[in-house]
């Protein structure tokens, strides 16, 4: 089922942190449905099925987005703003997964509508616990709304409408 | 003694009243004539227009109505509360004193003149009175002579002795009359000559007519008439001279009095003119420029460093103005320097903040890789490694963890330095109990006796005070680890008006020689193998207490426990 295709989008520029995150999630049976992108622009391309992700299948949004704050090109807060401003993506839970303990980052994230803010601990055991708890919570405990029922008047924003799960892109049939 | 004539009394009374009125009016005249308030009050716009002060605007500023030049265009005019300037007031007082002195001097002058007038008048009055007595005596000589002539004429006709009675009476009175006239006669030789002539005529009449008739002769009556007429003429001449003399004296008196009055009035008028002129000139030349300088200084003191007084008035006051300008330039420069220093400091602070932000984010990621991958290595590939390799990897992981803790503590320490304080009334005992509860893991499996006393409320940021107690109690628990039972006491006592809060334990204590090092960042008096820690906790506590305006210090001895004490501002009674 294509809707169930992707569980987690991990936006992380540090490959070490990405690997450690994947390792922490190894037992949660989500390994095959985690997609890792390394900067904010790529994350937006992935979410909006543009650029190199124009033909991705399944085209639906992930169940949860783990988002680093400090990213090349487009930073985490901009990605968060874009997601939360889009009625199609607004209901996708976004978990900030970052090293920053700065209060202003926490405040800015919550102001933009982040669902959770996790400071990555240096200690691996604590890190592992944090990632696992967050993954478990958002993937298995949290009950999301039925797709498309949030944002009652869906309207594409600035031509970059989120791709809908049910209508495949006209150019996307080739894959 | 005869009373002075009625006109004299009248004149004297008028004079006294006039002098009296004038003296009473003088102060009023002075006060009315001198424009006291308007010219001395700096804020008042009714100051005397000052043509002497050249207030031409300069190219780099403008001049407000008080003569204060503002350096930059566009600045508002100096808005200084329009209270009278202190210097202007002092000048006013000086002027008032000067005027009072002038007034007193004039009053004194008036009194002296009055006394002089009275003295002159009294002398002249005596002279006039004596002349009147002489005039009367002279008239009585005529009466006596007429009596004598009547007696002689009667005797000539009747040859009856009884007709000689008026003659005898008149003749007897004559010497006394002449004596009276001569007695007070003024030293005028012409008058004495006239009187001698009169006396000679009297003697001629007696010698050539009266005595021959009484002796029985019968002289020609025409001789008698001629002789008597001669006497009458000389008597009238004396009377006339006396009258003229008296009139001259009265004129002299009047002249003296008018002159004195004119002198007094002249002095008063001159005094008034000089006083008024002084006031006006002082106001123009001194008070206004001084007021302008005072206002400029006040404006400078209020922080408007662009204010520059326009030097005006006398050289001394101009000098004050120039000095104020120099001072203001210097102040301005210092303020500029301070502002740029503050800007540099702000920039440095911003950079530091960016640095710590960077440290917070970027330094922890590689550290996490170190601890994470060494952990994974031990966990996943333990059976491929020797015991020693595993132990080494464990040490790598512990080193990374320790570095992570250090970074976290350092960040917390930096954060406390720039965090805004939100002070409220807090109850330290409640905070200490919360901290003890949070630190319960540290007390597990140990025998710890904690005593939280009643502590007075204080004014502090609750979150930061909790951080203080967390650090102090964590230390107390850590360093008393070897004790059974460990005693930890959270208390307070009053000391010279302040409340001293303290946390004491019976733990490892410290060498009091190094007490001053306890509160330094990364300063530790114990090996980390002995007691773990980063050496930031007490530095953090000290920073928080100092930011609250309190003091912190430590007492202790090796193996005899430690007491950390601090003071905080007392909470205002609610």
B-chain residue closest to A123, CA distance = B401
Within 8 A of B405 by CB-CB distance, chain A residues are 122
CB < 8 Å from A in window 310-369 of B? 357, 360-362, 364-369
| A96 sits in which H/E element | strand A94-98
Asked if the model's pLDDT at residue B503 lies above 90, the reply is yes
Tens-place pLDDT, residues A72-129 = 888 899 999 999 999 989 989 999 998 877 788 899 999 999 999 998 888 888 888 9
How many whole angstroms separate alpha carbon B566 and alpha carbon B499? Answer: 8
Give the domain ranges of chain A.
Answer: 2-133
Give A126 to chain B, closest Cα distance, Å.
10
Could you say which of B357, B362, B367 has the minimum Cβ distance to residue A122?
B367
Helix (H, G, I), strand (E, B) or coil at B459: strand
From chain B, the residues in CB contact with A14 under 8 A are 365, 369
Chain B residues within an 8 Å CB radius of A117: none
* Residues of A whose CB is below 8 A from B376: 20, 23, 124
Q: Which of B360, B376, B400 sits opposite A100 (nearest CB)?
A: B360
Taking the Cβ of residue B462 and every Cβ of chain A, the question of whether any pair is shorter than 8 Å is answered with: no
Cβ atoms within 10 Å of B311's Cβ, excluding its own: 20
Q: Enumerate the domain spans of chain B.
A: 6-296, 337-418, 421-567
Residues B67/B76, Cβ–Cβ less than 8 Å: no
Cα distances from B226 to residues B170, B205, B210, B223, B486, in angstroms, run: 19, 9, 13, 5, 160
Q: Which of A122, A126, A128, A130 to mutate to test the interface with B (most CBs of B within 10 A)?
A: A122
Interface predicted TM-score (ipTM): 0.72
Report the SS3 class of residue B529: coil
Instruction: Name which of B365, B375, B407 is nearest A124 (Cβ-Cβ).
Output: B375
Instruction: Measure CB to CB from residue A99 to each of B360, B403, B405 and give the nearest one.
Output: B360
Which CATH number is associated with domain A2-133? 3.40.50.2300
pLDDT digit string, tens, across residues B146-155: 988 888 888 8
Other CB atoms closer than 10 Å to residue B107's CB: what's the count?
A: 14
Backbone phi, psi, residue B265, to 5°: -60, -45
Please name the CATH architecture into which domain B421-567 falls. 2-Layer Sandwich (3.30)
- The rounded distance, in Å, linking the Cα atoms of A111 and A103 is 12
How confident is the model at residue B516, as a pLDDT? 80
Pairing type for strands A64-67 and A94-98 reads parallel
Least confident of A8-17, A26-35, B97-106, B256-265: A26-35
Contact check, Cβ <8 Å, B397/A124: yes
Q: Measured between CB atoms, which of B360, B364, B405 is closest to A102?
A: B360
CA distance B401 to chain A (A): 6
Q: Quick check: B360 and A101 CB within 8 A?
A: yes
* Helix B387-418 and helix B364-380, axial crossing angle in degrees, nearest 10: 150
Residue B63 has pLDDT above 90, yes or no: no
Element (H, E) at A22: helix A15-24
Q: Could you tell me if B379 lies within 8 Å of chain A, comparing CB atoms?
A: no
Whether the pLDDT of residue A175 is over 70: the answer is no
Interface test with A, best of B362, B370, B372 (most A CBs within 10 A): B372
* Tally of CB atoms within 10 A around A119: 18
Contact A70 B371 (CB under 8 A): no
Which three-class secondary structure state does DSSP give residue B41? Answer: coil
Contact B362 A102 (CB under 8 A): no
Q: What percent of chain B has pLDDT over 90?
A: 16
CA-CA distances (angstroms) from residue B499 to B453, B460, B475, B571?
A: 14, 13, 22, 11
The C-alpha R_g of chain A, in whole angstroms, comes to 16
Q: In chain A, which residues have their Cβ closer than 8 Å to the Cβ of B372?
A: 16, 20, 23, 124, 127
Identity of the residue in B360, B369, B375 whose CB atom sits nearest the CB atom of A16: B369
> What integer is the mean pLDDT of B554-571?
87
CB atoms within 10 A of CB B2: 9
pLDDT more than 70, % of chain B: 81
Q: What angle do CA B85, B87, B92 make, to 5 degrees?
A: 95
Q: Give the closest residue to B411 by CA, choosing from B367, B372, B361.
A: B361
Q: From B374, which residue of chain A is nearest by alpha-carbon distance? A: A124
Q: Which residues on neighbouring strands pair with residue B504, listed in sequence order?
A: B489, B563
Beta bridge mates, B69:
B63, B308
**Measuring CA to CA, how many Å separate A52 from each of A2, A14, A30, A48, A148?**
20, 21, 24, 11, 25
B49-58, Cβ contacts within 8 angstroms, sequence gap of 24 or more:
B50/B284, B50/B288, B52/B284, B52/B285, B52/B313, B53/B284, B53/B288, B53/B289, B53/B312, B53/B313, B54/B312, B55/B310, B55/B312
Token duo for residue B205: 């009449």
Cβ separation A122–B360 shorter than 8 A: no
Q: Which of A4-8, A27-31, A112-116 has the highest mean pLDDT?
A: A112-116
Contact between B182 and B188 under an 8 Å Cβ cutoff? The reply is: no
Lowest mean pLDDT among A7-16, A142-151, B256-265: A142-151
B97, burial (CB in 10 Å: exposed 0-12, middle 13-18, buried 19+) = exposed
């Amino acid at each position: 089922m294509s809707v169930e295709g992707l569980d987690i989008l991990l936006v992380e520029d540090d490959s070490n942190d990405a690997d450690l995150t994947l390792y922490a999630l190894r037992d949660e049976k989500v390994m095959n449905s985690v997609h890792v992108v390394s900067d904010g622009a790529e994350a937006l391309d992935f979410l909006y099925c543009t650029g190199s992700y124009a033909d991705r299948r399944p085209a639906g949004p992930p169940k949860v987005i783990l988002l680093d704050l400090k990213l090349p090109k487009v930073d985490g807060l901009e990605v968060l703003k874009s997601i939360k401003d889009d009625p199609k993506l607004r209901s996708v839970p976004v978990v900030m997964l970052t090293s920053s303990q700065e209060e202003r980052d926490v405040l800015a994230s919550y102001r933009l509508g982040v669902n959770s803010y996790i400071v990555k601990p240096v200690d691996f055991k604590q890190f592992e616990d944090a990632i696992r708890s967050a993954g478990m919570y958002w993937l298995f405990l949290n009950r999301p709304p039925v797709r498309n029922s949030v944002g009652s008047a869906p309207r594409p924003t600035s031509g970059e409408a989120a791709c809908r799960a049910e209508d495949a892109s006209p150019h996307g049939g080739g894959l | 003694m005869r009373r002075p004539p009625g006109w004299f009394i009248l004149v004297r009374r008028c004079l006294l009243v006039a002098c009296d009125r004038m003296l009473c009016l003088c102060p009023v005249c002075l006060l009315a004539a001198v424009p006291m308030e308007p010219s001395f009050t700096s804020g008042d716009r009714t100051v005397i227009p000052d043509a002497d002060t050249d207030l031409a605007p300069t190219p780099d500023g403008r001049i407000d109505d008080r003569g204060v030049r503002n350096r930059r265009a566009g600045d508002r005019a100096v808005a200084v509360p329009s209270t009278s300037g202190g210097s202007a007031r002092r000048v006013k007082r000086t002027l008032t004193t000067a005027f009072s002195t002038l007034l007193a001097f004039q009053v004194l002058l008036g009194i002296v003149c009055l006394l002089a007038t009275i003295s002159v008048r009294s002398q002249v009055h005596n002279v006039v009175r004596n002349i009147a007595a002489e005039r009367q005596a002279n008239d009585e000589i005529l009466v006596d002579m007429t009596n004598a002539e009547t007696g002689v004429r009667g005797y000539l006709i009747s040859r009856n002795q009884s007709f000689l009675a008026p003659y005898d009476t008149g003749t007897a009175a004559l010497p006394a009359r002449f004596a009276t006239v001569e007695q007070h006669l003024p030293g005028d030789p012409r008058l004495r000559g006239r009187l001698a002539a009169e006396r000679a005529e009297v003697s001629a009449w007696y010698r050539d007519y009266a005595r021959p008739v009484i002796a029985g002769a019968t002289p020609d009556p025409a001789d008698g008439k001629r002789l008597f007429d001669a006497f009458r003429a000389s008597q009238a001449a004396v009377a006339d001279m006396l009258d003229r003399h008296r009139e001259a004296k009265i004129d002299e008196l009047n002249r003296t009095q008018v002159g004195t009055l004119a002198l007094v009035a002249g002095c008063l008028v001159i005094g008034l003119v000089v006083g008024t002129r002084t006031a006006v000139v002082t106001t123009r030349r001194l008070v206004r420029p001084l007021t302008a300088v005072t206002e400029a200084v006040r404006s400078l003191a209020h922080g408007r460093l662009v204010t520059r007084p326009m030097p005006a008035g006398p050289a001394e006051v101009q000098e004050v103005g120039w000095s104020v300008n120099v001072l203001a330039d210097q102040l301005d420069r210092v303020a500029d320097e301070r502002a740029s220093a503050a800007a540099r400091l702000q920039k440095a602070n911003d950079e530091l903040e960016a640095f710590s932000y960077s440290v917070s984010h970027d330094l922890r990621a590689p550290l996490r890789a170190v601890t994470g991958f060494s952990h994974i290595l031990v966990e996943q590939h333990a059976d491929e490694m020797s015991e020693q390799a595993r132990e080494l990897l464990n040490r790598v992981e512990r080193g990374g963890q320790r570095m992570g803790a250090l970074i976290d503590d350092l960040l917390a320490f930096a954060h406390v330095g720039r965090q805004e304080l939100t002070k409220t009334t807090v109850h330290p005992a409640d905070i200490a109990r919360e901290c003890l509860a949070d630190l319960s893991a540290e007390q597990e499996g140990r025998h710890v006796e904690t005593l939280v006393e009643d502590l007075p409320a204080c004014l502090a940021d609750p979150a930061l005070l909790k951080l203080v107690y967390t650090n102090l109690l964590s230390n107390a628990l850590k360093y008393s680890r070897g004790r059974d039972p460990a005693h930890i006491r959270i208390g307070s006592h009053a000391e010279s008006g302040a409340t001293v809060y303290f946390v004491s334990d019976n733990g490892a204590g410290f060498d009091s020689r190094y007490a001053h090092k306890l509160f330094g960042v990364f300063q530790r008096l114990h090996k980390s193998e002995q007691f773990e820690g980063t050496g930031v906790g007490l530095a953090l506590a000290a920073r928080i207490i100092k930011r609250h305006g309190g003091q912190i210090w430590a007492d202790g001895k090796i193996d005899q426990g430690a007491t950390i004490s601090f003071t905080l501002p007392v909470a205002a009674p609610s």
